[in-house]
Structure 1
Amino acid sequence: MTEDQIVAFCDSLPGTTRSQPFGADIEVWKIGGKIFALMATGSGRVSVKCADPDYAEMLISVGRAGKAPYLPRGGWIAVTAHDLDDDEIAHRLRESYDTVRSRLPRRVQRGLG
């Protein structure tokens, strides 16, 4: 998946907002005010949250992902787009979105569509 495809995929998720709070070259996607994906333009790498922190650690230990820079442990990983196929990148982005969304208060979730 190219960076443009990652941007388009994240932008297409319901209730998603995109901003650049850390500078012009850092894209951040949020759902309900909470980050679910972060990408430094030109890096080819996107940081996402896994539903299971132990699974995230396993992905890091086997080399399928790296530690997400500047984000807390607890399930955050960084995946490189050219190392994974498009379906897996889409899965990681969707899982991150779903994980963060599911932890929002119900009233916030209802307002997202």
Structure 2
Amino acid sequence: MSRALVRSVCETLPGAEVSDPWGGGHDAWKVGGKMFACIGATDQGVAVKTADPDFAAMLIETGAAARAPYFHRSWVLIEWGAEEDFLRDRLLISYDLIRAKLPKKLRDTLPARPG
């Protein structure tokens, strides 16, 4: 699992864009200007949004994810080495969560997500 895998998933999502807002080699994937995935400059894995802090805590407690440093408690870090299918699912769920919170007018301009 790597930045290349994250890129291959995220670049297919409608309206997804990547930037390095803090400099130093971060990949911040956004939809509608809101981040849904981030790879830090230290490249330990990818941070993704979960439905709520309780679900994030469950993922951390079961060892499926780690706490995402510098992020809200509803975000987790999926470390490199996790199952590819799990990573893909968490990226898509994070995207869907963030997209659902966008203003309706903006959401309506985005095509449906494939799959």
- TM-score clears 0.5: yes
Instruction: Pick one of 87, 95, 101 that aligns with 1:103.
Output: 101
Contact 1:32–1:112, Cα closer than 8 Å, also in 2: no
What is the alpha-carbon distance in structure 1 between the residues aligned to residue 70 and residue 12 of structure 2?
Answer: 25
SS class of match (2:93): helix
What is the alpha-carbon distance in structure 2 between the residues aligned to residue 60 and residue 20 of structure 1?
Answer: 26
Contact 1:3–1:44, Cα closer than 8 Å, also in 2: no
What is the alpha-carbon distance in structure 2 between the residues aligned to residue 2 and residue 76 of structure 1?
Answer: 19
Identity %: 39
Counterpart in the other structure of 1:10: 10
SS class of match (1:12): coil
* CA-CA distance at 1:48 after TM superposition: 0.2
* CA-CA distance at 1:24 after TM superposition: 3.6
* CA-CA distance at 1:2 after TM superposition: 2.5
**1:1-113 correspondence runs (5 A):** 1-41=1-41, 43-73=43-73, 75-82=74-81, 84-113=82-111
What is the alpha-carbon distance in structure 2 between the residues aligned to residue 86 and residue 65 of structure 1?
Answer: 13
What is the alpha-carbon distance in structure 2 between the residues aligned to residue 5 and residue 35 of structure 1?
Answer: 18
Q: Give the number of aligned pairs.
A: 111
Q: After superposition, what is the alpha-carbon deviation per residue over 1:33-72, rounded to whole angstroms, capped at 9, x for unaligned? A: 1000000256240000012331111111222111111111
What is the alpha-carbon distance in structure 1 between the residues aligned to residue 35 and residue 14 of structure 2?
Answer: 14
* CA-CA distance at 1:81 after TM superposition: 2.4
Extract structure 1 runs of 4+ deviating beyond 3 A: none
* CA-CA distance at 1:12 after TM superposition: 1.4
List runs of 5+ in structure 2 lacking aligned partners. none
RMSD: 1.4
